[in-house]
Structures are given as C-alpha cells and as structure tokens.
Amino acid sequence: MGVQLTVNEAITRLTRATPWVTVDRIPLDFACHHPQGLDRVGENFFLSSAEILEATVRHEHPEPGGPDRTAGKGVGHLYEMDPTGRMLREWTLGEDTIYHPSGLTFDGEHVWVPTAEYRPDSRSIMYRIDPVTGDVTEDFRYPDHLGGVSRDPGTGQLYGITWGGRRILELTSDGALHREVPVRSHYVDFQDCVEMADGLASWTGIAEYPDGSGGVFQLGGIALLDMATGDIKHEVPVTVLSPAGRVVTFNATHIEVVDDRLRMYAVPDDGERLGDSSLLVLEAEIS
C-alpha cells in the first residue's frame, strides 16, 4: 500500500462486500461480565465492563420527564489484560446506581472511561486512568448518560455519545458543554470509539431489528463521524457473529492497521465464568 493508512483512512476503503475473517479466538482467564469498551495501550488491552446484579425494569407508566426504568444494581469494572487474555489489573468504577462503564478511549497518555446509570437521560462520572501508575481520577460529573467517549488529540476536547448513540456532546476536560449535535445516521447505535483525528472519529456499534419470525436480527456497523456536525463520512455494516451469536461489534472493539489489512479485536460476549468470553481477532483486506 506504500505509506500506511491511518485507521480512519482505512475504514473509508471498506464496503458492504468486504469480508471479515476470524483469525484467532483467545479465551479470557477471568469473568468479564458485560463488556463495553476496548482499547490497546502498548501491548496490552483495557476493557470496561458492567457486572449486573439486578436488571433494570421498565416502568409501565413512567412519569413525564422522569426515568423510563428502574436503576437496577451492579458493579463497574475496568480490566487490563495481556494479548493472551490474562488479567493483569482490575479497578472498580462508579458508585451507588452509577455502575455502567461505557465505551472508553486511550489518548496516548490516559484511559478515559465514562461510567453511567444503566438508563437513558441519567447521569455519569468521567474517570481518567493513568495506565502506568494505575491512578484513577474523577474528572467531572455530567447530568446525562455518556455511553462512549473519544478525545481530540489536537484540542483536548472530549466527545461523549449519549444513550443509543443518538447525540454527540462536545465537552471540555472539566465537563463543560461546548456543543451538542444529533448523530445523522439511524442504522446503528454507536458504542465504542476506534480512532479520532482532525475532528473525525470512527465508531463501532449495533442495533437490533425484528427478523419476521418473532426474533431479532443484530446489525453491526462501523462509521466515520464528523464530531462537530454529526454527519456520516462513511459507514459499512458488519454481520459477522461471535461464538455466542452476537454480532462482533456488539460493544467492545479496537481496530488497527496491519500491513494491508484492518485488524479488529472484539469482546462481544458476556461471561460470568472464566473462559465464557473471548478476545476475537478478525481481519479484513483493504485495497
């Protein structure tokens, strides 16, 4: 390919016909519960996850302007693991009804992990983790559900994705809202940011649709978003399934360029026991 493409550039070369091939499946040596976000820091990976102790329940008659479901109960986790699936370190994030760590990002210096209530229009805490020392800093609190985050390396601004990936919130590093825009795509709910540069961010996600037989069909996707406008610069569907039958972009993903291929690392499946979940490695050729 000559000069190696960035991840964002390589994603624009994907089409609906581009095949993804699973080249490895690495069982995790720990119970990772409900994975949410994944990013690589050096040779290792950081994985966020929500341990659900009591599921949320939708209100039959929610009050106007109030929550549409109960808060549930849980514990938020952040793991560091090596490429063999071995857990190296673990942190507990959140408090009280805030127990849902979301899509995370590594900006070259810190790992940013928003942790929210497990319901829309709620509240979040933004954590910043030093991957060298392991120190955890609470940077700010925000009165909405932040379901994923990216950080512009040029400006330092944070970009949060709200519940279902419907809105982009441009935030300062202390949580002040600078801009809010709608995401101008409605096929997939974005969950985890892959890369951000020059105001453009690539995101992965999923949406579920009825399949005509009473079940659901999961559509995964990868998209390149203009974070200032919410416009989609490029998007492609992903339909490859995990061992448990989930589309591989269900939540936690990391993508990088390796020679003439895009390599995706994904942890789509829940796991309450050792080995239930795996780090999947998929590759797609890019021309």
Query: Residue 275 has what pLDDT?
Result: 80
Structural domain includes residue 150: yes
**Confidence check: pLDDT of 46 > 90:** yes
| Residue-range definition of the domain harbouring residue 211 | 7-56+68-285
Structural domain includes residue 212: yes
In this predicted model, what pLDDT tens digit does every residue of 101-150 receive, in sequence order? Answer: 999 999 999 999 999 999 999 999 999 999 999 999 999 999 999 999 99
Question: What share of the chain has pLDDT > 90, as a percent?
Answer: 92
**Confidence check: pLDDT of 282 > 80:** yes
| Exposure of 263 in the CB half-sphere (CA atoms within 13 A) | 13
Structural domain includes residue 275: yes
Structural domain includes residue 162: yes
Q: Is 122 helix (H, G, I), strand (E, B) or coil?
A: coil
Structural domain includes residue 29: yes
**Looking at residue 89, which CATH number applies to its domain?**
2.115.10
**Confidence check: pLDDT of 284 > 80:** yes
Structural domain includes residue 63: no
Q: Residue 92 is inside which H or E element, if any?
A: strand 87-93
Q: How far is CA 248 from the centre of its chain?
A: 12
Query: Residue 273 has what pLDDT?
Result: 86
Rg of the Cα trace of the chain? 18
Q: Please give the average per-residue pLDDT across 261-283, as a whole number.
A: 95
Structural domain includes residue 235: yes
Cα–Cα distance measured from residue 39 to residue 216, given in angstroms and rounded to the nearest whole number? 29
Cα–Cα distance measured from residue 178 to residue 4, given in angstroms and rounded to the nearest whole number? 34
Task: Name residue 7's amino acid.
Answer: V
Q: How far is CA 284 from the centre of its chain?
A: 20
Query: Residue 133 has what pLDDT?
Result: 98
Q: How far is CA 238 from the centre of its chain?
A: 15
Query: Residue 274 has what pLDDT?
Result: 81
**Confidence check: pLDDT of 66 > 90:** no
Q: Strands 136-142 and 146-151, how do they pair?
A: unpaired
Indicate if the alpha-carbon torsion angle 173, 185, 204, 12 is positive or negative. Answer: negative
- Average model confidence (pLDDT) for the chain? 95
Tokens of 36: 């949410």
Question: What share of the chain has pLDDT > 70, as a percent?
Answer: 99
* Per-residue pLDDT band at 2 (split at 50, 70, 90): low
Structural domain includes residue 139: yes
Give me the number of domains the chain comprises: 1
**Confidence check: pLDDT of 1 > 90:** no
